[in-house]
Amino acid sequence: MAIQKTEAIVLRTQPFRSSSLIVTFFTKSFGKLKGIAKGVRREREMRGALYELFTHLEIVFYEKTRSDLHLISEAAIMDSHDALRTKLDTVAYASYFSEMVDRLTEVHDHHDGIFELLDFTFRFLSSVPAEKLARLFEVKLLREIGWLPLLDGCFQCQTSAFEKGFFSIRQGAIFCPNCAREFPDAKPMSPEALSVFRYYADHPLELALKQRMSPSASAELGRVIDHFLQYRLSFPLNSRRFLESIATVLHPSR
């Protein structure tokens, strides 16, 4: 068994036998990885706190060649992200980001961009409006996994000389008003929502985060992405449903 070291972010944990945990990480060097952390749940054992959700760690593990479940031998906290676990909205959104990464990636599929996206998002979630950060995260994650819709111009005629596009979930593409007539499922997108969609897709994280977006455009883009994911996936995202269920608590004025 090879001994490996990497940075990792905790996505999910589950009890294993009487005193251990199975931990799902997204790592900087190996993509999604699952490992057993033995003995961390024993009474008065403090090491279990190492594996709190959303924690950024450096881990050492024994890489098993015949199993996707590796043995975690050491872990050190780089950033606990404690602030994310103190409020309902940050817990809910951080859980959503973690579930998206967990459900949309395969074990050992290396993605530097996804690790950087998750780390960036967790660092800013306590200080940036969560809905805005969610739209940016969704667009960037879709790009990383190769699911980003075609946004540059009309998929049918290739023209880019239009502001109000029509998005087809089935085609995963934008159409101009003329071509959209041939695709009954193509629904209109406002110029602002389409512009932000394109801007987020094409610009670095720090620059994209500065882009202004109205609450109505954010809500519209969120609905478009949610419907697109529902069409592409064979399962619901539980954390997304939870966010919808607490929307009136998070945004009582709406």
Give the integer Cα–Cα distance in Å for 194 and 153. Answer: 11
Which pTM was predicted? 0.92
Residue in the structure block whose two tokens are 């592409």: 232
- Interval 102-144: pLDDT, tens: 999 999 999 999 999 999 999 999 999 999 999 999 999 999 9
Q: Which of 35, 34, 39, 45 is nearest to 20 (CA)?
A: 39
- Interval 218-232: pLDDT, tens: 999 999 999 999 999
Res 43: pLDDT:
47
Domains of the chain plus CATH, in order, are 2-80 (2.40.50.140), 86-250 (1.20.1440.120)
Res 251: pLDDT:
65
Which residue positions in the chain have pLDDT lower than 50? Answer: 43-44
Give the integer Cα–Cα distance in Å for 169 and 220. Answer: 14
Q: What b/e readout covers 208-244, taking b as 16+ CB neighbours within 10 angstroms? A: bbeeebeeebbbbbbebbeebbeeeeeeebebbeebe
Q: Which of 83, 103, 65, 126 is nearest to 237 (CA)?
A: 103
Res 42: pLDDT:
64
Res 229: pLDDT:
92
Give the integer Cα–Cα distance in Å for 197 and 203. Answer: 11
Res 44: pLDDT:
46
Cα–Cα–Cα angle for 108, 78, 23, rounded to 5 degrees: 40
Residue 61: strand, helix, or coil: strand
